[in-house]
Amino acid sequence: MKFNNFKGERVFTPGPVEIPDRIREVLGRQIIHHRTKEFTEAFLETRELFKRLVDCPSENFVFFASSGTGAMEAAVLNFFSEGDKVIAVVGGKFGERWSELGKTYGLNVIDLSVEWGKSVNPEDVEKLLKEHPDCKGVLVQMSESSTGAYHDVKALAKITRDRDTLLVVDAITALGVYNMKPHEWGIDIVVGGSQKAFMLPPGLSMLWFSEKAQERLKPRSYYFNVKKEAEKQKEGQTAFTPAISLILALRESLEMLLEVGMDEVEKKYSKMSQGVREALKEIGCQIFPENPVISLTAVLPPEGVNADELRKAILSMGIRLAGGQGKVKGKIFRISHMGMDYLDVVQALSAIELALNQLGKKVRYGSAVGKYLEVISS
């Protein structure tokens, strides 16, 4: 069957995600200059909204004109010194990134390897910390988007809270999905990115840090200088040229999230992800991670079906899903829930049913969609 896609391609990838009309309207406005009262007021409003998102009145956070990886690099460069010992939880492509960043900048990195698709056992982290009491940090993903696995950062925070160890969390596909309370939970550094649950284009990252982390602040970077940026940004300005349009759009995004309320946002994503998992199991797929995140679903296709061939067939219908990365490249496919509403997902599930039948894996039309609707309406 050939599909004519008059509306173009729909993106169900875990970044970038589709941009809502409210945010696109802001992005389409004429640029303003950043060294103006107008920008300063808008930036300060954006900062106040971000404080509400993380449920903390602290001014200890900065926005960088970079992808999320830039904020990850800033975390390594500003809070650790060359030779510091850190544990990197390596259970996916982005866990590998923590390890690589640490080694690039001279940290003594202990890799805690976790099978891809599994979640780190907090007891293993605690054991390593007892073996290495001089360890300065634990670097981990909350949502390992390459595998769809969830790492329990609240449990890890209980372990690091009373140690001279910073818990550094890549929350790039968790912030704006989960109702995160880093100060209350005991997390020390949180990294986020614009093109995920904030529903913006790539190019803006955020880094929040605790008072404990502030005491360890020793910038080793010129551009990614957290101390310099924090001092300027709390006054409504930036040390260097900011991503002006993205900051204005972030203000709109934060307003949208807070209008719903982060408790309700998390409930929506939780219900949506539960529905997608049950729907895909209904047509012979297997959920890849042991403890799945709610921001996306990572899936093994039915036996005998190649994941990339399936994605190619789905793309011909105007639906773009993500493939696997690293060790699971070609083995899994991934469906993002970020920025989606309940009925958006029906379109992706319908395309999967059609594609499986095209590839000779006969499934009953409507079986996945029906299961999904059953779950979200319960």
Assess if residue 214 is contained within a domain. Answer: yes
> Where does a domain end: 226, 260, 294?
260
Q: Look up the domain containing 47 and give its range.
A: 31-260
Q: Sheet holding 333-336: strands in order across?
A: 286-287, 296-300, 333-336, 322-323
pLDDT digits (tens, 9 = 90+) for 308-326: 999 999 999 999 999 999 9
Task: Look at residue 359 in the predicted model and tell me its pLDDT.
Answer: 96
Task: Residue 274: give its domain's CATH number.
Answer: 3.90.1150.10
Q: Tell me, yes or no, whether 241 and 283 share the same domain.
A: no
Tokens of 114: 């976790």
DSSP letter string, 344-361: HHHHHHHHHHHHHHHTT-
Q: Tell me, yes or no, whether 142 and 220 share the same domain.
A: yes
Could you give the count of Cα atoms lying within 13 Å of 136 in the half-sphere of its Cβ? 18
Whether residue 348 is predicted with pLDDT greater than 70 in this model: the reply is yes
> Where does a domain end: 243, 260, 277?
260
Domain count for the chain:
2
Task: Look at residue 321 in the predicted model and tell me its pLDDT.
Answer: 98
Q: Tell me, yes or no, whether 268 and 369 share the same domain.
A: yes
Q: Tell me, yes or no, whether 356 and 232 share the same domain.
A: no
Q: Tell me, yes or no, whether 44 and 189 share the same domain.
A: yes
Instruction: Grade residue 61 by pLDDT with cuts at 50, 70 and 90.
Output: very high
Q: Tell me, yes or no, whether 39 and 155 share the same domain.
A: yes
Backbone angles phi, psi at 169, to 5 degrees: -115, 120
Task: Residue 187: give its domain's CATH number.
Answer: 3.40.640.10
Q: How many helices (H) and strands (E) does the chain have?
A: 14, 15
Whether residue 240 is predicted with pLDDT greater than 70 in this model: the reply is yes
Assess if residue 226 is contained within a domain. Answer: yes
> Hey, how many other C-beta atoms are within 10 angstroms of the C-beta on 301?
25
Please confirm whether the linkage preceding 133 is cis (ω < 30° from 0). no
Among 323, 20, 375, 70, smallest CA distance to 198 is for: 20
Q: Let me know how long the chain is.
A: 378
Q: How far apart are CA 285 and CA 279, in angstroms?
A: 9
Q: Tell me, yes or no, whether 232 and 113 share the same domain.
A: yes
Instruction: Provide the 3-class DSSP secondary structure of residue 155.
Output: helix
Whether residue 2 is predicted with pLDDT greater than 70 in this model: the reply is no
Whether residue 140 is predicted with pLDDT greater than 70 in this model: the reply is yes
Q: How far apart are CA 215 and CA 200, in angstroms?
A: 32
Instruction: Provide the 3-class DSSP secondary structure of residue 377.
Output: coil
Assess if residue 232 is contained within a domain. Answer: yes
Q: Tell me, yes or no, whether 347 and 284 share the same domain.
A: yes
Q: Tell me, yes or no, whether 173 and 310 share the same domain.
A: no
- Scanning the structure block, which residue is given the tokens 């949502």? 143
Q: Tell me, yes or no, whether 254 and 265 share the same domain.
A: no
Task: Output the pTM of the full model.
Answer: 0.96
Assess if residue 241 is contained within a domain. Answer: yes
Assess if residue 22 is contained within a domain. Answer: no
pLDDT digits (tens, 9 = 90+) for 286-309: 999 999 999 999 999 999 999 999
Assess if residue 59 is contained within a domain. Answer: yes
Angstrom distances, CA of residue 315 to CA of 157, 318, 321, 322, 339: 41, 5, 8, 10, 19
Among 335, 332, 374, smallest CA distance to 351 is for: 335
Averaged pLDDT, 24-53: 98
Instruction: Grade residue 44 by pLDDT with cuts at 50, 70 and 90.
Output: very high
> Hey, how many other C-beta atoms are within 10 angstroms of the C-beta on 303?
9
Assess if residue 24 is contained within a domain. Answer: no
pLDDT digits (tens, 9 = 90+) for 168-199: 999 999 999 999 999 999 999 999 999 999 99
Whether residue 148 is predicted with pLDDT greater than 80 in this model: the reply is yes
Q: Tell me, yes or no, whether 169 and 117 share the same domain.
A: yes
Task: Look at residue 8 in the predicted model and tell me its pLDDT.
Answer: 82
> Where does a domain end: 260, 276, 308?
260
Task: Look at residue 243 in the predicted model and tell me its pLDDT.
Answer: 97
Assess if residue 113 is contained within a domain. Answer: yes
- Scanning the structure block, which residue is given the tokens 């007892």? 130
Q: Tell me, yes or no, whether 244 and 280 share the same domain.
A: no
Whether residue 4 is predicted with pLDDT greater than 70 in this model: the reply is no
